[in-house]
Structure 1
């Protein structure tokens, strides 16, 4: 509760305070002159454009149809390992759905997805790209680009079109390399250098 003494003390402290006569509004007009800092940032942005770390290209690709099978493996991948991937016998640890994406959006997402798989130690994943059956020309555009992009990524060891129950030729199983942490764990576990 405020006492009479507190109130008088407050009024004594506030006796020299004057009311602000300007309206209580912020100035939102942008400054019209360019500052030296602004000019320097603008010069640096033009001189050093952002580098795209994504190696996937958007060039012309060989057109694939809905029923074409994607199949690729790096040299050194064991036959039994690739067979198991092709038959969908590895557990699917993550999935990426590219449906309704543009080629550029898919390019970014595929690069990010594979990088994340390596980072989190995911080895067997699936990418749903669709069959392109609704396209008037019958070309599966994202599938065509994906067939070009996956071999461009050094983290991809092999890929194969999925089994029917996982999407068939509208999806692809992808085997991703082990991350450095997983390789080190295996070395410690099995005692090899």
Structure 2
């Protein structure tokens, strides 16, 4: 608690203090002229080429029709494993729907999706690309690109058009490579090197 003498002493010290009438804010105005540093940063930002780390082809690809079957496997994939994939006997752990996407959007999504599958340890996934039956030329554009893109990704071991109940030739089962972490866990679990 303050005593009466302390309070009087404080008021005596503060007698010349006056309230500030203006708001206590700095007056900041953006400069109207661009500084040389600003111009240099603008030039550097527009001159720097954008690096596309996505390896998927964006060139023209061989056109496929609605009912063409997609199938492919890397050397070393066992035929029994590929057969189970083809028959849809692996549980579908994730799905990507490319319907209504442009080729460029689909290209980005497929690249990101497969990377995420490896990161999260998902091995058997499905990508819905559509059949392209409504296209006047009968060409299934996304399907055509997907058939080219999937073998370009090292993390894709195999793929096959889906069974009818999963979308038939408008979807594709994809088998994804194990992540290094999952490979190591298998080695430890089964005692091999």
What range describes the TM-score normalised by the shorter chain of this pair? 0.7 to 0.9
Which secondary structure does the structure 2 equivalent of 1:91 belong to?
coil
| Cα distance, 1:106 vs structure 2 | 0.2
| Cα distance, 1:60 vs structure 2 | 0.6
Q: How many residues align?
A: 183
Supply the RMSD in Å over aligned alpha carbons: 2.4
Distance 1:186 1:48, change over 3 A: same
Report which of the two structures shows the higher radius of gyration computed on alpha carbons: 2
- Corresponding residue for residue 127 of structure 2: 127
TM-score of the aligned structures, taking structure 2 as reference length = 0.86
Which runs of structure 2 are paired with 1:12-161 in the superposition (5 Å)? 15-20=17-22, 31-36=32-37, 38-161=38-161
| Cα distance, 1:28 vs structure 2 | 6.9
- Corresponding residue for residue 185 of structure 1: 185
Which secondary structure does the structure 1 equivalent of 2:160 belong to?
strand
Equivalent-residue separation in structure 1 for 2:16 and 2:84 (angstroms): 82
- Corresponding residue for residue 3 of structure 2: none
The answer for unaligned runs of 5 or more in structure 1 is: none
Equivalent-residue separation in structure 1 for 2:32 and 2:57 (angstroms): 41
Deviations 1:60-100 (A, max 9, x none): 10000100000000001000000000000000000000000
Regions of 4+ moved over 2 Å: 12-15, 26-32, 38-50
Equivalent-residue separation in structure 2 for 1:97 and 1:48 (angstroms): 33
The answer for unaligned runs of 5 or more in structure 2 is: 1-6
| Cα distance, 1:31 vs structure 2 | 3.5
